Structure 1
Amino acid sequence: MYARRMVKLTKQIDDSVLVTPGAKSNLRKRATNADDIFDDREAAEEATKENAKAIDALQDALWAERKRALLVILQGIDTSGKDGTVRAVFNRCGPLGVQVTPFGKPSDEELAHDFLWRIHMATPKKGVIGVFNRSQYEDVLVVKVRNLAPAAVVEQRYEQINAFEAHLNDTGTTVLKFMLNISRDEQRERLQARLDDAEKNWKFNAADLEDRKLWDDYQKAYEVALDRCSTAHAPWRVVPADRKWQRNAIIAATVRKALEDLAPQYPKPDWKPGDFKIE
């Protein structure tokens, strides 16, 4: 019963959020709420908790097996909820098997290498779920919008990213990519909340307002990245993120299904428990 229900739900999710490889993403026409998938907040939040618990159990088997890895990429504009997603979806998992890596402005050392160097260094080892808070896509998003590299260099990066993700897939790392899609109005409310709530003041960064002025440019850059880099081995999912509980429920269900498809197994020892006696 559960298996059929999960298959039906994840199919409904993907019908709504998946960017079909080779097709146009039409980002600016996509909904920023997911009322068609989750219209009951209480039920969605309960489903997220259940899926987070299941993700923990599956990750435990993945860690014990040590044969495959899962990489979850969270990409989105400021306030889209990358940190909140990590807390909601992976809060049950132990620290040994989940590695969260935030990518900010590259250091001098990182700039001295190719743009994928720091990314590859952070990919999860076998048995681990890796979560990227921002990712290699910053090099075709902020770099493109801010003109931080020549257009010809940025143009090359789409296929370089595709080849990199294909390599990860071929060597045992499943890649899940989520673009957290919020509306401009919702971003304004979240930024204002950081000013109004003293406990959220630390989150406010005046530079976010400069990026907000470039909203349309970022939307165009995201659309190109989604169109060019949604592949069979690593498709993009555009997750409506205006409602945090819908965002979390969609991603938790998708991550759980991906782990269940991997079906990690606990290894069988080459000894029998009865062979030992503990005094």
Structure 2
Amino acid sequence: MPDVNAELLDLARSIALEAGELVRSRREEGVEVAATKTAPEDIVTAADRESENLIRGRIAAARPDDGFFGEESEATAGKSGLTWIVDPIDGTVNYLYGIPDYAVSIAVVEGDPDPNTWRALAAAVVKPATGEVFTASAGGGAYLGTSRLQVATGKQLSLALVGTGFSYDSRRRGLQAEAVSGLIPRVRDIRRIGSAALDLCSVAAGRLDAYYEKGLKPWDHAGGAFVASEAGAKVTGLHGVPASRALTIAAEPGLWAQLEPILDELGVVDR
């Protein structure tokens, strides 16, 4: 019998690579803001839209019965029970400024496109500026290229490099900065890279020891969270509920157990 997850992964990888090459080439040509969304800082480029259109078209041609849920276009339900969760450029501000930390993220999930209930089957996260390809399939592990990823165990929080991100809303950013100020004396250091997908893949690859962020949309974390999970990270919200807009925490389970109560204490969800 064919390995359906492997077939889904192959499709996700090939489309993400094609979209990645598109956005990389568009970056070389120059980038302009096409629109803003929730705030003037929250931007969309023409390349975001072009990338999503390409991805959506390739998926529709290969799997017309699947649903689609992307950042830049209208969601559509499918008939197969599978939905593709797509961020055509994660880290658009980095992309605008020529910072290489941006990614194309494609995941396919079973069930409704709700991170509280879905079951991820395959994902590919491509970093076009470097050509790196992170992949994962259900039960098949996580990879960077052909190298299998496995999070290290035994890390103490005081020696942990922790990634996070901030809201586009200035008031919420201020509150998030207060939480960071309470966390930073308890860890090795903090990194704010600007792409949730790459932050989560960095946990899988050992470039970050842990990551947390409030306010992520499904397309922000679907691919990267699955890569981290298949590499052995615990990826949840507060108190072990599924990762969602309320909060996403990713770390090796022992480190997660050290970090989670501090985030609870600092009020990263409720404030």
Which one has the bigger helix percentage?
1
Query: Normalised by the shorter chain, which TM-score bucket?
Result: under 0.3
Select the structure with the greater relative contact order (CA < 8 A; seq sep ≥ 6): 1
TM-score (norm: length of structure 2): 0.27
Q: Which has the larger radius of gyration?
A: 1
TM-score (norm: length of structure 1): 0.26
